[in-house]
Structures are given as C-alpha cells and as structure tokens.
A = this chain, B = another copy of it.
Amino acid sequence: MAREESTREAYGRTLVELGEANPNIVVLDADLARSTQSQMFGHKFPSRFFDLGLAEQNMIGIAAGLAASGKTVFASTFAVFASARCFDQLRMSIAQPRLNVKIVASHGGITVGEDGFSHHAIEDVGLMCSLPGFTVIVPTDAVEAAQAIRAAAALLGPFYIRLSRPKTPVIHEDGYRFVLGKAVTLRPGRDATIIAIGVMVALALEAAHRLREIEGIDCRVLTMPTVKPLDEEAILQAARETGAIVTAEEHLLQGGLGSRVAQVVSSHQPVPMAFIAIKDVYSRSGKPAQLMERCGLTAEDIMDGVRGVVLRKARQMAFRLGGR
C-alpha cells in the first residue's frame, strides 16, 4: 500500500495506450485537459483530440455525433461539470440512444479540496445512475482505473467513470483483474460488511482492521467499483452472511451507492444498515483530509457505523431468540 498514484494519471496513461492500439478512439475535453490528463492523448494524437473550450453541453453533443458515426469517444472534464452541467445532453444525446461515449470525469468528490464547493462533485454518481443505459464505475485505485477504462473502451455503450484528484494508495496488486459488474472481497468477515468505493476503500480497510484489533468485530470489506449495475448477488450474500451492512462513499447520501444498496437489501433481505456519506450540505474550501473529517468520511465514522449496525443486529437477534 506504499505506492500512490491518482486515478487520473492512470487515465492519461491508459488513453495513450488505447489510442495506439485503436485508431478509432477520439478524445474530447472542455478546457481541462491539463487537469484531467486527457492532454497526454492530445499530445500524442492531435488529430483525434478536440478541446472544446468551456462548453460542456457542446462537448456532449459532439461526442454523441462522433459516436453515432462509429467512433469510440472519450470525453473528460471535472466530475461536477461532466454530470451537472450537461445532464439533459447526456440524457438525450447519449443515454437514450445508447451511444458509445465514455465520460471519464476527474476530480470526483470533496478530496478536490481547496477549490471549494463549486468544484466538489458530491452528486455526480447519483445523477449518472439516473441515466438509463449508462454503466457507472468508481474505481478504487489507479490499477483498477486503468482496467476499467480498458473495459469501457472494449464494450459498446455509455460509461461514466469517476476519478479523483489526489494521489491515493494503490490497493490492488498488479495481478488484479477488474470484472465489470462484480464486487471484490478485500477482506472476509462475519459480523458486518462494509461496502466502500473510491477513496473510501482504504479507510474501510483501516476501519475493519482497527475494529478487529480493538473490539474483535470481524468485518467483511467489499468494493463495488461498478455502482451501476450493482452486484446484487454479492450484496445479498453479505446481507445473509453478515446480517449488517455499512456503505461508504465520497458522495451525498442521496442517490449514491448507499441508496442503491438499500433498495436491493430492502427488496430481498432487510438488515440493519448505516450510510457513511455526505449529509445534505455543501462543503467548503479546506485540505482534503480536513473536509473528509468535517463531512463524516473517516475511518472512525465507518467504525461508528459498524458499531451501530452490529448493535442493532444483536438486538434483533435477541428479540428473535426471546420471541415477543
């Protein structure tokens, strides 16, 4: 876990590799190529790279037109602009016609830090999951990001891949193989399950480790890089086998991973749940770690969540055993 790399660096690198192998790939950006790292592709393949300036709506429409003409299109900007600024365009021009456009959005979540709320994408995952036809991926680390981007390039249809600004620990080993639509068990456990995505995965592992060491609580840890479609099987197995679930995401409570998991669980196997997510409020400027703390997105918050669901599960058990 010593190595760190940002998922957006993995993006730039992977784009260039893809561009070498496949002349059909075209990349768009909206005046943030130097930040999203799509510029790496632009430098290498200037004729297949279009920087559209500050015009996110136009970028999405152009992406659709290129895809309708047979191109495999990657389009990048910051996550907040990629989702919020052009939602109707995504809906009309890409989602419904299921065109072959991959929105790869950097700067997801509040770890963007000092730029403040205008640059913090806290609702993008929910928004993008509201687009029928879209596959939505939040990679755990740079290793997974690279593979998810390759998977998206290989499959027809619309994808949204959410990347992060800061360097983050590389969690997966080199031999790791990303499988679209599948959760990954990072740690077995029986008392409760933590389902985490993106930058929360490292914190979930830390929380699980400390809960085991200090309190003897044995947590399963899953990552669910494909937020849509969900790996319902893994969720229901976790519900059955561990009887309690905590989700953890760098996103609003509304519409994100937690809300999606809650619907699956409630539909089939209701168990106590806790949601580690951003409450209904915009964040501000600050260091990423400070903001994570303010927003309740720390290992301690996850630990509290686990303690809560484990307690409620125990009460429920006691109730069951005792009868009414």
Q: Which residue of B lies closest to A90 (CB)?
A: B84
CA distance A120 to B85 in the complex (A): 20
Interface centre among A129, A270, A274, A281 (most CB of B within 10 A): A270
Would you list which residues of chain A between 1 and 34 have a CB under 8 Å from chain B?
Answer: none
> For the complex formed by this chain, how many copies does it contain in all?
2
Looking at the assembled complex, report how far the CB atom of A306 sits from the nearest CB atom of chain B, in whole angstroms: 14
Chain A interface bracket (under 10, 10 to 19, 20 to 34, 35 or more): 35 or more
Q: Does A67 contact B (CB under 8 A)?
A: no
Q: Does A109 contact B (CB under 8 A)?
A: no
Q: Does A290 contact B (CB under 8 A)?
A: no
Give A250-282 as 1s and 0s: 1 = Cβ < 8 Å from B's Cβ atoms. 001111001110110111001111110000111
Contact B117 A123 (CB under 8 A): no
Give A101-139 as 1s and 0s: 1 = Cβ < 8 Å from B's Cβ atoms. 000000000000000011000010011011111000000
Q: Does A293 contact B (CB under 8 A)?
A: no
Q: Does A241 contact B (CB under 8 A)?
A: no
Contact B96 A88 (CB under 8 A): no
Interface centre among A123, A258, A275 (most CB of B within 10 A): A123
Contact B270 A271 (CB under 8 A): yes
CA distance A127 to B281 in the complex (A): 15
Would you list which residues of chain A between 284 and 324 have a CB under 8 Å from chain B?
Answer: 319-321, 323
Contact B132 A281 (CB under 8 A): yes
Q: Does A87 contact B (CB under 8 A)?
A: yes
Contact of A255 among B81, B92, B126, B270 (CB under 8 A): B126
Would you list which residues of chain A between 52 and 87 have a CB under 8 Å from chain B?
Answer: 80-81, 83-85, 87
Looking at the assembled complex, report how far the CB atom of A101 sits from the nearest CB atom of chain B, in whole angstroms: 16
Contact of A320 among B118, B271, B320 (CB under 8 A): B320
* In the complex, chain B residues whose CB is within 8 Å of the CB of A271: 266, 270
Contact of A262 among B91, B118, B263, B323 (CB under 8 A): B263
Contact of A254 among B88, B118, B255 (CB under 8 A): B255
* In the complex, chain B residues whose CB is within 8 Å of the CB of A118: 92
Contact B130 A117 (CB under 8 A): no
Contact B84 A84 (CB under 8 A): no
Looking at the assembled complex, report how far the CB atom of A68 sits from the nearest CB atom of chain B, in whole angstroms: 17
Q: Which residue of B lies closest to A56 (CB)?
A: B88
Contact B266 A272 (CB under 8 A): yes
If A88-B85, A320-B320 touch, does A275 touch B282 (CB 8 Å cutoff)?
no
Contact B273 A270 (CB under 8 A): yes
* In the complex, chain B residues whose CB is within 8 Å of the CB of A126: 126, 130, 254-255
Contact of A259 among B91, B117, B262 (CB under 8 A): B262
* In the complex, chain B residues whose CB is within 8 Å of the CB of A320: 319-320, 323
**8 tightest Cβ-Cβ pairs between the two chains A and B:** A270-B270, A266-B273, A123-B130, A255-B255, A84-B88, A262-B262, A85-B88, A259-B259
